[in-house]
């Protein structure tokens, strides 16, 4: 039977719980539940050996769960695991968790991170930056639709690490803040949009752009029909996969979405003008 500790409202409770179990040299599983998600931390004689949240394991899972401001804790004694995903000494793990809590507090005191913010890529960066692989992956998720919380949850990136990456992106002029691209929700995109899309694709892949576009449209069976937003996203993914250079791929994706908003606005404006004409008649 588990030892239920109840709801906690501070990230320090997570480290407090682990520190207590480690100091008592406990063996078992600490289950952390929050909003339908469940993470696990296994200890063997006070040593933290494994952490898992969905498919995310090890120290990354532990750091992600550390950011949960509330959660329900339940410890099941003597429950073992065959997995060892944390090789770091437990004292070092606990020290790292404490340092990250302190760092998060210092950073967010003056510059809080709004996890509900929607970001978009700037068509032209104003600075230079060298990105790590995970930062490239984060940048690829910034599409004017996902919130920072969406990105954090999808990638299991702790808010502290996400904050640091976002700051670097902002310093390099790679991103801006906006609203979710909802203008295109009911839009249909015809030949004008596809022509503009082909021009942008040509900048990334050269003269094979029309061939790639034609093949992608045939796969969608949309060669003559206007594209709705859902199909447009599939089309962009197909075209993006044909662009080998990551920087060019990201630039193409962002420009394509900016064009989608522009053409959607033009279409909406035209519809309004037609309605006005009919009213006058």
Q: 3-state SS of 31-49?
A: EEEECCEEEEEEEECCEEE
Look up residue 105 and give its DSSP letter.
H
- % of residues, the chain, pLDDT over 90: 30
**pLDDT on residue 278:** 46
Q: Taking residues 144-165, what's their average pLDDT?
A: 90
Dist CA 122 CA 125 (whole Å): 6
Query: Given this model, what pLDDT does residue 270 score?
Result: 47
Q: Supply the pLDDT for residue 190.
A: 74
**Tokens 């996969």 found at:** 241
- pLDDT tops 90 at residue 238: no
pLDDT band at 47 (very low <50, low <70, confident <90, very high): very high
pLDDT tens per residue across span 188-223: 567 788 888 888 888 888 889 888 888 888 877 755
Rg (CA), the chain: 24
With beta carbons less than 8 A apart as the criterion, state whether 175 and 149 touch: no
- pLDDT-based confidence at 151, cuts 50/70/90? very high
* For residue 144, pLDDT beyond 80: no
Separation of alpha carbons 111 and 14, rounded Å: 24
Give dist(CA 15, CA 98) in Å, integer: 7
Q: Which of 43, 64, 67, 44 is nearest to 54 (CA)?
A: 64
How far is the CA of 140 from the CAs of 54, 149, 247, 261, in angstroms? 22, 15, 10, 19
Is residue 178 over pLDDT 70?
no
The tokens describing 258, both together, are: 């900016």
- The closest of 198, 169, 178, 201 to 261, measured between CA atoms, is 178
- Indicate the SS3 state at residue 50: strand
- Please write down the HEC assignment for all residues of 217-265: HHHHCCCCCCEEHHHHHHHHHHHHCCCCCHHHHHHHHHHHHHHHHHHHH
Give the pLDDT confidence score for residue 128 in this predicted structure: 65
Distance of alpha carbon 244 from alpha carbon 103, whole angstroms: 37
Whole-prediction pTM: 0.64
CA–CA gap between residue 228 and residue 235 (Å, rounded): 10
The pLDDT of 87-91, averaged and rounded, is 95
Q: Band of the pLDDT at 7, cuts 50, 70, 90? A: very low
Please, what is the Cα angle at 270 between 269 and 274, to 5 degrees?
120
Residues near 45 by Cβ (< 8 Å), separated by ≥ 6? Answer: 25, 26, 27
- Count of other CB atoms within 10 angstroms of residue 136: 14
Name the percent of the chain lying above pLDDT 70.
Answer: 78
């Amino acid at each position: 039977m588990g030892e239920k500790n109840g709801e906690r409202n501070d990230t320090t409770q997570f480290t407090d719980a682990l520190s207590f179990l480690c100091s008592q040299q406990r063996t078992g599983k600490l289950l952390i539940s929050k909003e339908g998600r469940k993470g696990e931390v296994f200890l063997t004689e006070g040593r933290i050996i494994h952490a898992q949240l969905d498919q995310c394991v090890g120290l990354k899972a532990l750091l992600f769960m550390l950011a949960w401001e509330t959660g329900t804790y339940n410890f099941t004694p003597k429950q073992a695991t065959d997995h060892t995903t944390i090789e770091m000494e437990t004292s070092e793990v606990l020290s790292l968790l404490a340092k990250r809590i302190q760092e998060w507090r210092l950073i967010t005191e003056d510059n809080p991170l709004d996890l509900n913010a929607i970001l978009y890529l700037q068509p032209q960066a104003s600075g230079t930056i060298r990105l790590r692989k995970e930062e490239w992956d984060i940048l690829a998720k910034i599409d004017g639709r996902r919130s920072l919380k969406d990105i954090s949850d999808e990638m299991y990136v702790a808010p502290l690490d996400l904050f640091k990456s976002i700051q670097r992106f902002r310093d390099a002029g790679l991103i801006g803040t906006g609203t979710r691209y909802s203008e295109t929700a009911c839009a249909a995109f015809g030949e004008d949009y596809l022509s503009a899309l082909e021009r942008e694709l040509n900048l990334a892949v050269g003269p094979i752009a029309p061939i790639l576009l034609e093949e992608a449209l045939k796969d969608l069976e949309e060669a003559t029909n206007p594209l709705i937003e859902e199909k447009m996203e599939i089309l962009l993914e197909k075209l993006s996969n044909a662009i080998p250079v990551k920087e060019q791929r990201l630039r193409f994706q962002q420009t394509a979405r900016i064009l989608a908003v522009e053409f959607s606005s033009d279409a909406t404006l035209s519809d309004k003008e037609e309605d006005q004409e009919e009213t006058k008649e």
